[in-house]
Amino acid sequence: MNAARALLEMLQRYQVEYVFGLPGETTLGLYDEWKRFEGVTHVMARDERHAVFMADGYARVSGRPGVCEGPSVGATHMVPGLVEAMKSCIPLIVMTTDIPLGMEKHNMLTGFDQTSLFTPFVKESLTAHRGDEVPFLVRRAFRVATSGCPGPVHLRLPIDVLAQEISPPLPLAQERFSICPGTRPLPGGGETAEAAKGLAYCKKGVMVCGQGVLTSRAWDEIERVAERFGLATATTINGKGSISELHPLSVGVTGSRGSTDLSNSFIEEADLLFYVGCSTDSVGTDGWKLPKETGMTRFIHLNISERELGNSFGDGLLLHGDVKSTLQAILEAANELELPFKEGREEIAGRRGTRPGPPSTSGDRLDPRLATEMITGAMPEGSVIVADPGMSAVYPAAFYKLPKAGRYFVTNYAMGALGYGLPAAIGATYGVPENVTVLNFVGDGSFGFTSGELETTSRLGRDLKVILFNNGSFGWIRATNLFSFGAPHFATDFSQVDYMALAKSYGMPAFRASSESELNAALSGLFAHRGPALLELVVPPEDECVPPVPEWGIKSRQEGLECHYWR
């Protein structure tokens, strides 16, 4: 067999079902083998950047490495997706085909130094110099991507190498690395015992869960630890889903995106903070202002990444290990040491009861909080939300209470680049059972980056609902400008676009709502239709309906503006 066939065989051995990508001249030899290979399905995107985001969305909801491919001419377009995956610790196998390596210096069309481009943004960049290296490099790519702190791996495949004949048999797959995490390292027994003691004897302990909880699939252990030690349990926006938000110990999302006065107040009052799978970045800590007086708070930090461990709050107990395995060890240590059980903290439920009722709506624009609550109340049980940054992410983060723990909410606030949500949602539809609905919450600013993928959405026919928040602008930038530099706005407003006509031109049903009654009617049609559809919501920009962002909430109150950042 040739190396292209061997590549496909190895992907199948690692239980890869889907590869997201699009054709170019350097991929044609690989595609020629793919015509006769039924074990792995190719999903065609319209942009190499979006192929990476599709693999990212698939990886997050499925728990398996996402796999994507692109031709040499489009390899530069894949970098934004790699940067997001690297900072989010998402396991990806990113394959690029290439011209023959010996032709780089001859200025052959589409050729450039791919390795130098990709190396800063991946765990490892691997180049196949001979056909018989391809199976070995595939094994290495999966092992590196899923072990330790997960992340993307780049596999560079020159067209002449893929055409080379190689001798069977192919090496066996290391099957443990076909899922993530591939390894589950533990800290020392003394460290987990010390952590158990600290959690048992704190008075106002708070556990803050980051995306690492979801990657480790440790939500059962999070609930057990919360109940064993009576910990108020918050999540970052990326960690939403680490615990059911209906659980009596859940306080919701904390930090600077999608948080509330209520959730952040628990961090301010804590005598011990247990950061679990959380990088303690600027979003999760509101620019490192939470907690306000770090000298009054003890810290425990559990993380798989040695680079992030104790990075922001280093004066505490540092646990280097996998979240799921380490939490199990802490629970075992607590039982062995016969540490006391703590009752759930009664004040949590009481304080959560102060939440105000749904907002009223008037005029010809929808209140985005009301729209979010109506949509999440009407969507089918078990639906998955994939949200672009901005209004479309922070409203469901704050106001949609996940009834069940797990990866039911995805957003990209490691980097926060626009254009992530729609392709990631397409990928997510392949990572969930076919009867599960996926919703892409997207702003019109972000939608401008990805509107071409409506064709992909329509062509594939997956049950994907695009929820488009139309405020006619880069609304987040408008609000940031207003609160940081004052009026007027600069370079933020769009011309009017007929989004319903655009969706219908791709063969998709489309709905539009600018009032509560219109939204009620639209939701009936949206969810009655099985397959892709678009719902446009006419809403005000963020400088007019200030979303749940702490800094903006303080300033908006001072200026008498309506604000959705509540206690």
Residue 139 lies in a domain: yes
Query: Residue 122, Cα to own-chain centre: how many angstroms?
Result: 17
Residues 433, 340, single domain; the answer is no
Residues 336, 453, single domain; the answer is no
Does the structure show a pLDDT above 90 at 236? yes
Residues 50, 163, single domain; the answer is yes
Residues 242-258: pLDDT tens digits? 999 999 999 999 998 88
Residues 132, 163, single domain; the answer is yes
304, 327, 352 - which closes a domain: 352
* pLDDT for residue 293: 73
Name the residue with higher pLDDT: 560 or 417. 417
What φ, ψ does residue 297 adopt, rounded to 5°? -125, 135
In the DSSP assignment, the letter for residue 493 is B
What φ, ψ does residue 561 adopt, rounded to 5°? -90, 155
Residues 17, 165, single domain; the answer is yes
| Helical H segments across 103-248, by residue range | 114-118, 134-146, 159-162, 189-201, 211-216, 219-229
Does the structure show a pLDDT above 90 at 327? yes
In angstroms, rounded to a whole number, what is the distance separating the alpha carbons of residues 559 and 288?
25
In angstroms, rounded to a whole number, what is the distance separating the alpha carbons of residues 475 and 241?
27
Does the structure show a pLDDT above 70 at 355? no
* pLDDT for residue 103: 82
Q: Do the bridges between strand 272-276 and strand 298-303 make them parallel or antiparallel, or are there none, so unpaired?
A: parallel
Query: How many CA within 13 A on the CB side of residue 373?
Result: 13
* pLDDT for residue 529: 94
- Quick one: average pLDDT of 535-548? 90
Find the CATH number of the domain harbouring 249: 3.40.50.1220
Residues 219, 135, single domain; the answer is no
Residues 258-273: pLDDT tens digits? 888 888 989 999 999 9
* pLDDT for residue 398: 93
* pLDDT for residue 567: 43
352, 383, 402 - which closes a domain: 352
Q: What is the mean pLDDT of the chain?
A: 93
In angstroms, rounded to a whole number, what is the distance separating the alpha carbons of residues 76 and 366?
39
Residue 272: strand pairing partners: 205, 298
For residue 558, name the pLDDT band (cuts at 50, 70, 90): low
- Quick one: average pLDDT of 453-470? 97
* pLDDT for residue 102: 81
301, 323, 352 - which closes a domain: 352
Q: Contact 68/74 with Cβ under 8 angstroms?
A: no
Residues 468, 492, single domain; the answer is yes
Among residues of the chain, what percentage have pLDDT more than 90? 80
User: Which region among 39-48, 187-196, 399-408, 540-549 has the lowest average model confidence (pLDDT)?
Assistant: 540-549
Does the structure show a pLDDT above 60 at 566? no
Residue 511 lies in a domain: yes
* pLDDT for residue 357: 57
Residue 439 lies in a domain: yes
My answer on whether omega of the bond before 152 falls inside 30° of 0, hence cis, is: no
Residues 201-223: pLDDT tens digits? 999 999 999 999 999 999 999 99
Residues 379, 299, single domain; the answer is no
Question: Among 275, 303, 265, 266, which residue's Cα sits nearest to residue 199?
Answer: 275
- Quick one: average pLDDT of 338-353? 77
Residue 470 lies in a domain: yes
My answer on whether omega of the bond before 135 falls inside 30° of 0, hence cis, is: no
Name the residue with higher pLDDT: 471 or 289. 471
* pLDDT for residue 362: 59
Residues 323, 208, single domain; the answer is yes
Find the CATH number of the domain harbouring 87: 3.40.50.970
- Quick one: average pLDDT of 130-144? 98
CA torsion 182-42-430-422 (nearest 10°) is: 110
* pLDDT for residue 382: 96
* pLDDT for residue 305: 94
Residue 320 lies in a domain: yes
Residue 183 lies in a domain: no
Does the structure show a pLDDT above 70 at 153? yes
Name the residue with higher pLDDT: 510 or 557. 510
For residue 352, name the pLDDT band (cuts at 50, 70, 90): low
Residue 360 lies in a domain: no
Residue 66: strand pairing partners: 92
Residues 102, 197, single domain; the answer is no
Q: Measured between alpha carbons, how far apart are the two ends of the chain, in Å? A: 65
Residues 77-100: pLDDT tens digits? 999 999 999 999 999 999 999 999
| Helical H segments across 63-188, by residue range | 79-88, 114-118, 134-146, 159-162
Name the residue with higher pLDDT: 86 or 289. 86
* pLDDT for residue 562: 62
Residue 361 lies in a domain: no
Residues 384, 331, single domain; the answer is no
Does the structure show a pLDDT above 60 at 28? yes
Residues 214, 119, single domain; the answer is no
Residues 329-340: pLDDT tens digits? 999 999 999 999
User: Which region among 16-25, 333-342, 347-356 has the lowest average model confidence (pLDDT)?
Assistant: 347-356
Domain extent, residue 194, equals 189-352
- Quick one: average pLDDT of 265-284? 92
Split into its structural domains, the chain has a count of: 3
| Helical H segments across 361-498, by residue range | 368-378, 391-399, 421-429, 444-450, 453-460, 475-485
